[in-house]
Structure 1
Amino acid sequence: MPENTWDRLKRARIVRVLLVYFGAAWGVLEVADLLQDSLSLPDWVVPVALLLLLIGLVVIVSTAFVQATPGTEQKQDAGELPGAWEVDPKDIAESLKKGKLPHLTWGRSILGGVFAFWFLFGLAGLYVVIKDRGESFAPVPAVAGEAAEGIAVVPFTVRGEEFVMFREGMVDLLSTNLDDVGGYRTIDSRTVLARWDEAVAEGEIADLATRLEVARAAGARYVIDGTVMAIGDGVRLAADVYDVESGREVGSGQVEGPADSIGSLASRLGVQTLQALLAEDGGEGVTARAAMSLTTASLPALKAYLEGEAYYRQADFDRAIEAYERALVEDPEMALAHFRLGDAYGWAENIGSDRGMEHLAEAQRLGDRLSNRDRAIMDGTMALLVGDISAVDDVREVTRRYPDDPDAWFLLSEFYFHYWSDLQLDWEDLGRVFERPVELEPSFAPYYIHMFEYAVIHRDTAAARRALEGLRPLNARRQEALELVHGLVLGDSTRQAEAAAAVPDLRDDVLEDAYIDLWLTAGRPVAMEPIFLELQRRRHPAGGNLAWLYLTAGKADAALSATPDGGWTSMWIPYAVDRTLEPLPSDYLEQILQRDNCGPAAEAPIHCLITLGAYYAEQGKEEQLETLLDDMRSGAAEAAAEGRERSAEMLTLAADALDAYGWAKNGDRVEPGGAIQKLEDLAFTGLPPSIWVRWWLGELHLEDGQPGDAVVYLESLRGSGVPHVANFLLGRAYTELGEREKARAAYVRFVQAWEEADADLPQLQEARAALEELLAG
């Protein structure tokens, strides 16, 4: 019986053939789209590729039918036809000579498709080469459009026979001095002089239009034109900077000095002309406004400073610090370099960096060299680093006076990010202040960092991804680290596993940059465990914080096992485990919480002393507490005598707070002006001891049946080192207040953070039971 169409389709396995073809076609279109974007291929590439694929579909279906025709296989076996996968070019040639269509085989069809697309992409590439002379395929630095703005220094007008050699000599001096500074490049002096010789006859004095034309012909955007003039025994150098296209004067400079110092005078003149350019459009690495504060006469200092600015813009703070320090070697009184160096140390070390504050203090001393706006921002930055939260109103005023200044907005966001709890702000409503600097200056990498961190804290995957996408074109050093954090904290299970697996192969600096404060991942502390484990394996100091991570995750035994041998955390972790997770043997705590472990009060870590004092107050050890308080007040006096006012202030505040806490735990807390009131007066100072005070007040108010007062202090603890305490107690407080939604949210945060906590911890059992009841209601 003759074979019908349906039998032929089944023999041809047409469904399988079409599935394979459509999969291959999708891959071809993806490659075509990628090549079109990356190589700037013409717009017709993808439509033509689609047309070829449609033609190919007809060929492939025909090949399937031909190969499924009865008798084809027998003829192939007998050698009468080429095999199913043979190409056999000789047979193709013979068929074409006879005017016949060559027999369709899979080999011939596939080879024909490969050739068609090879021809398509080759033709498209040839089109690009002819159209733009190969620029699209050239390495990035070789493409003229990627070159920095060019400056042409044309021959100076000389007045004074003894300086005639500097007519062209200034071209060489300034071209060399200004090249690759601030993102500009100088046109090679030989090129400029060649264009000059073409346009200006020997002995002729060129007018401005001619000088602009020479610079234009040399490929420059700006031209520097000037004079060398003898004045008595000295010399005066003057220069004007013009925009080549508009002919507008951008700025000018003038210096005078001894005739035998013309080289140093040329350097000073170069500084002035460069400042004029930077003030015009900012160049690379400095804003036009900041250029007004670049008061240095040293070109090497200026070059190093601008190099530091370029690194700072990429959030590469270590390299920025090195460059700023080189600038200060050349000019120790460059106020803006001290200012930026202090700020960079705040990023590289911590917000309270001693070295950072030293340089900011020096910048303040030299403040008369800064613009009023820079001086206001510098004063605000100094207040930020020392924890003077009262200055936030001044910073707000700066943003009102200069609403288009991204530095001002960024400083305000810094205050909000680091001191939102002390300022009693609603953390949920702060997103806008982190976005504003990025809107004003989207090419400045540090602006994106807090924006990213805020998004991660809120578990806003889309916002965090937007921040990363904004950073990517800026070549920011921290990009890799932030991508890692995004994967670990916000990724799905697959992405988390991939990020964790990548950690052992990452450089130290990537892991260091990924080490963000634990409260950033308070929603899921264990997400950062791979980083801390690796840092601990490498014996990196930051690895000691693994114990703190386990503490916030509700893993008591793991926290104690990971506790470092030295430092104040060797006391803090056992204390905090006993205080917030599960009771520890009293003799064990007595052995660890020893006064000698903190060292002299004037030099001791403030949290070490507070840990010890809190333990004494809670255990009713009043004599030991009194002795400690005497030591702390003596230490404060010693620090003040040595000029360490901030240390003295913190010791005094901590001593007063511990004194009041001792009375609250062991004395009368009801009398007017009593212990509770004293603690409330110290709760929002912006200094480290105030975090402890808010913890104590939250608990004390709950114990006294005042959940409304407790909430004020507990909400501010969500961004502290004990977020688990804050969320658990907030759940209780809001439940007592009848605010079920807020209670439910607090318990959800607590349970999520303790997803891998020790199962027998009573807080976890209580939170789960309370949450179940709240959800049922």
Structure 2
Amino acid sequence: MTNKFFDELKRRNVLRVLAAYLALGWMVMQIAETLTDAMSLPEWTMRLLLVIGALGLPFVVFFSWAFEITPEGIKREEEVDRSQSITNITAKKLNVVIIALLVLTLGHSIYRSNQTTMVAPTETSVVESKSSEPERAATTISEATSIAVLPFANLSSDPEQEYFSDGITEELLNLLAKTPNLKVAARTSSFQFKNKNINIQDIARQLGVTTVLEGSIRKSGNKIRITAQLIKADDGFHLWSDTYDEELNDIFEVQDRISAAIVASLKESLGIELQVAKVEQKIIDPLAHDFYLKGLQGVNIKSFDSLKMAQDYFQRAINIEPNHTQFKLALAEAIILRQTIGDREEYDLEQQAVSILENILEEQPDNADALYLMALVTRWMPNKIEYSMAQFEKAYSLAPDHPLIIEYVAFFSFNRFRQLSLDKAELTTIFNRLVAKDPLNANLYYGWGIINTNYFMDYETTAKMYRRAIELNPLDSNYEFFLSGYYANTQADLVSAIPLLQSVTTSDLTDPDGPIYLARTYQSLGDFNTAQEWVDNALAREPNSGQAKLVRCTILYDLGQSKQALEEIQAALDDDKVFHRRFSRPNLASLGVFILLKDKQVARAKSFLFTYYPDLEAVKDAPPPTSIAEIGFPLAPLVAIERAAGEENLYKQLAMRMGLMTEELMQGVKPKLDYIDYLILARTGTGRKTDEQVIEYLENAIKSGYLGNWRFDMLMRPEFMHLHDHPRFKNLITEIEEKVARQRQYL
């Protein structure tokens, strides 16, 4: 009975059909796995195909038993005349199909196996140790020891959980970066590919890595599922993949396990010997960790509102975990970023960041992150410049490849009176090294553009760097803002600055900088009504902006409303809620003195100035301060006051003191001068230099490409009032007005 049944199975080709079906299924699975890698399909795709194939198996057996292929087509088996059956011919065809499928599938499997285990011989790489001296790895390390961690996809039902998947990705990246001899593409470059449909090979080529880690995160309540897969970039094949279903409390353990699995996979698949990073983890409250991840999202957006939100979230995390160093570093960074983009420049806010960092450095004096941040936050604080430089030098000795190097040097370069020990060649080497590690970091190009403006006066490179930064991250309005300054202040091109500033204005509706500088630009072009509209827009965004109030008062003066301008100046200087940046406080005081002197109110002008700078007169006997911004600049209006009062000896004495301060502080800082330097020399030269020399400084500022705020700097400074009737000065103003009149035609 059994033999007859088996013979019938063979006669009806059931076994051959079954074999062909299994061979076809094997080949389909092989092809599907390749396509899943190449097309970044979900990891459950293979399981779905397997289930579909298994469900189809009984149907294949049933139909091959119940039906038969005949010359007339498919018929039920009992309807076929046995003498007319062609099952033997069908059997031969099935044999050919089975053999062909097996050959193709085996060939594909062998090819994949060879590709996965192959290790290309490459050059030995050098890695940086914690010290500034490079050391070579003990074993030969190939270029394959490089990895990019792409942003893990957020598969949670709530799109707002994306902060969580981004944060976990960033933490995993930082953990892998601690693995000795493993080159990890920086976060800023890896996250450039978020939500972009670019194949793995192109991503790896742009980042200069040979392996890529990608995955997904699904969060539901206190449960998380993390799926991760390590891909070999040159062929797209998976080296390793796994899924982790865990409690949220175990998130750090999961990160450790993923990191260890990647290291093990690189060893098993590519023969690369690496050591798992030893990072001491402590149990962290999940809510505090969640607040921290939400804060990171705000820092990465980097807008006025997002940074306020980030500061709040980091503080809430610290309230739960008061001793967590990373949370405290993040809070300090958020405060510094608010200061950097111009949201706030308040002593209390700066002091909060300083206190946080002092607390960290007391316990960890060699924490390079804290040292760099301390250098940044103290760079403009009164009498802190030497301290800031010392913090930077120590941080640089500990971490010579830190991404904050370029940022610090860039913003330090705005200081006209101090110079870091790094020369151009060394800075260029640092920049190239950082770009090699983080090629898509827009901030590096942005910082390098600032350095080329302020230190090297290489404006062609400046423009290229700003444009590259905009190309990489068009959402960061700082890059367009600085490019507009390049046009207005180094190319004498106000018209080209306008569309950039308009873009800045629309990119962040809470940031007053765009409208402020649009107002200045239109004022410089002589369009005072449009300028007033824009400055009112700025004040609607931030009513307490001292800089916006300053620009408004200069426009009021240009519109012939000097009395109202003076009233608003006094109100701004008296209001403690007004916050000042970019020297808006001394400039408001200077403008007030100018208006009063124009009205022949010399005594009132002096009383007005001393109201806001009561210790000013003592400066003539004091040693040179570290910055003349808050002391030396108000001294220039005092020189103008004493000149107007006929106190020749006194104003010359003050002018001599002011000029010595400037020259002593600027000496040897830069190889050549730019427009800001010439304006400073002109302001501090009045009463000490001849009128011809002062006017020459102003002429050189214009020749340097400056037009950005020329009306205020040349027509509303009290120290230049005595020059207004000088023929050479009048010729300079006529030349500028003709230049801007030509530009107005293109508006």
Q: Bin the TM-score by the shorter chain.
A: 0.3 to 0.5
Tell me the TM-score normalised to structure 1 length.
0.45
- Of structures 1 and 2, the one with the larger relative CO (CA 8 A, separation 6+) is 2
TM-score by length of 2: 0.47
